[in-house]
Structure 1
Amino acid sequence: MVEAWTAAQIREAERPHLEAGEPLMRRAADGLADVVRDVLRASSSSRDGRAGRILLLVGSGNNGGDALYAGESLARELVPQGGAVTVVPVGSRVHEAALAAALAAGAVLDDVEAWCDAAVVAGVLPAYDVLLDGLVGTGSNGAGLRGDSLRVVRAVLPVVAGATWGVGAEAAAASASASASGTGRDAGTSPAGGSAADGDAIGPAPRVIAVDVPSGIGVDDGALPDPPHVLPADVTVTFGGHKVGLVVGPGAERAGRIVLIDIGIGPDLARMPPAVTTT
């Protein structure tokens, strides 16, 4: 049996802990980083011994901060081993302290414009092992992404999902063309200055890990926008309690395996009737 709560209920459960100064974001980020490590370990045989590469798609909200603090922890481990953590800031702002921490740990900031081009993305995204979707969090109502978030998701979808999830033919064709021609930021160049000619094999699509919820689903009802521009997650790492949109409606189909991270609000949620209970 799975109990799930609305975004408003989650926020109400978090409120006294935030007012008390508890580090909920750090707890969430630590749990997220642990899941990324597990995914990297599971895929280590396909990387020929090289260190992992992580791409962070970071929006303006708290989920972006969660992703950045997780990126800080991962960068401290991966970058000295020759791995990489690349941050793509999407939106009008990002969590400044978390971004500073990630960059100080060795993460690299990349230009969002390049990640809005489907042909470029098709050439460079397969060099990554894990993509963290931290674009939009529990404020999403399923009405659809906007601005750069939408542009990035439209460019990334053909690589991570393909026609199975209703990607437009034009974007899929751009992806196929770029894959065939080896198109990158420059020919043979991978993100953040790496070169595919330096012995860094281009592999299959990265595993997608959604931060709290897949960006763009209706958090309270599992609704999808039309067209359904949502990155399908292999794993969704959600914090504190299950959100309704992860267990009902078409949004649940985009969530993949759900991992619940305890950030200390469980007793507060237990005092609230869940919005949905599923088996």
Structure 2
Amino acid sequence: MIDAYTAAQVRAAERPHLEAGEPLMQRAATALAGVVADAAGPGRSGDRPSIVLLVGSGDNGGDALFAGAELARSGASVAVVPVGSRMHESGLAAAIAAGAVRMPPDDPELGAVLGSADVIVDGILGTGSGASPALREPARGVVRLAREVLDRPDPPRVVATDLPSGIHPDTGEVPDPVVLRADVTVTFGACKAGLLRAPASGYAGEVLVVDIGIGDALAGVEPELVLPD
């Protein structure tokens, strides 16, 4: 059986662990980096994989940045594209120190960089976003550009951080069509109910649930949704 929870249930389960100082973000980032590395393989040239991080303002952006730091240290070429009003400062510092390159969202070369990437990481929005439309500029324009790239032959793979940006984490609603369709969604702590509900389930691709150490806090919590394996 697959137990899926609301975003509020997962945040409540995370809270005591965060208050205890446990490195939940680092655990999530390490798992995300492993999935991205597997998705990228050796890179199209067989030399080094190319990763583009689409980074929003919240913790999902931090997860993506710390994962990018690990990928850059392992030899990947990592481009960081900020699409929010700010970025997670420690995550950005770690990524840049590891060799990642920051690329403005209005860079005229962004389309080419996206097109040559092995993996695009969607780290724009997390479970706390309830705005409609979910994506605002410059994120909206960058996602539109990435969607054009994905329509080409031999497109990059897309790995979503926790959930594809723009889907509702609980209901599975997709109120606005400007969403990157993921090949793999790496979701942290527990499966979010929206990932298993249509139409969002059609955007999530393969859903991988990563254990970040909050299972004890979820024990005894009634899941929002239970599906057979």
Report what 1:249 is aligned to: 198
Computing the radius of gyration from Cα coordinates, the structure with the larger value is 1
Write out aligned runs for 1:171-182 (5 A): none
Q: The residue matched to 1:124 in structure 2 has which SS?
A: helix
Work out the CA distance in 1 between the residues paired with 2:17 and 2:31: 18
Structure 1 residue 276 corresponds to structure 2 residue 225: yes
| Aligned partners of 1:121 and 1:156 also within 8 Å | no
* Secondary structure, aligned partner of 2:74: helix
Partner of 1:126: 115
Equivalent residue for 1:38?
38
Residue 95, structure 1, aligned to residue 92, structure 2: no
Deviations 1:35-74 (A, max 9, x none): 1121123xx4x72421101000000000000000000000
What is the Cα deviation at residue 111 of structure 1?
0.8
Partner residue, 1:17: 17
Work out whether 1:238 is the aligned partner of 2:187: yes
> Among 44, 50, 54, which residue is 1:53 paired with?
50
1:222 to 172, 176, 179: 172
Residue 212 of structure 1 and its aligned partner are, at CA, apart by 0.3
1:48 and 1:122 map into 2 onto residues whose CA distance is 19
Quote the Cα distance in structure 2 between the aligned partners of 1:123 and 1:70: 23
Q: Is the 1:54–1:130 contact (alpha carbons within 8 Å) kept by the matching residues of 2?
A: yes
How many Å apart are 1:139 and its aligned residue?
Answer: 1.2
Q: CA deviation at 1:150?
A: 1.3
CA contact (8 A) 1:140 1:217 kept: no
Q: For 1:32, what is the secondary structure of its paired residue?
A: helix
Task: Report the TM-score when normalising by structure 2.
Answer: 0.94
The residue that corresponds to 1:213 in the other structure is: 163
**Does the alignment pair 1:108 with 2:108?**
no
* Residue 155 in structure 1 maps to residue 150 in structure 2: no
- Please say if residues 143 and 218 of structure 1, whose CA atoms lie closer than 8 Å, have aligned partners that are also in contact: no
Task: Give, as a single letter, the amino acid of the residue that structure 1 aligns with 2:69.
Answer: E
Q: Distance in 1 between matches of 2:216 and 2:202?
A: 28
Q: Secondary structure at the match of 2:186?
A: strand
* Partner residue in 1 for 2:129: 140
Contact kept, 8 Å, 1:209 with 1:236, in 2: the verdict is yes
Matched with 2:63 is: 66
Q: 1:263 aligns with which of 212, 215, 220?
A: 212
Cα distance in structure 2, aligned partners of 1:204 and 1:124: 14
Q: Which runs of 5+ in 1 are unaligned?
A: 163-175, 177-202
Runs of 4 or more, structure 1, over 4 Å off, are none
1:142 deviates by 7.1
Q: Give the SS at the match of 2:169.
A: coil
C-alpha deviation, 1:258, in angstroms: 0.8
Deviation at 1:121, TM superposition (A): 4.6
Aligned-pair distance for 1:125?
A: 1.6
Q: What amino acid maps onto 1:123 in structure 2?
A: A
- Is residue 142–residue 222 contact of structure 1 (8 Å, CA) maintained in 2? no
- Are 1:89 and 1:112, in contact at CA under 8 Å, matched by a contact in 2? yes
Assess, with a 3 A threshold, how the Cα gap between structure 1 residues 220 and 142 changes in structure 2: closer, same or farther: farther
| Deviation (angstroms), 1:122 | 4.1
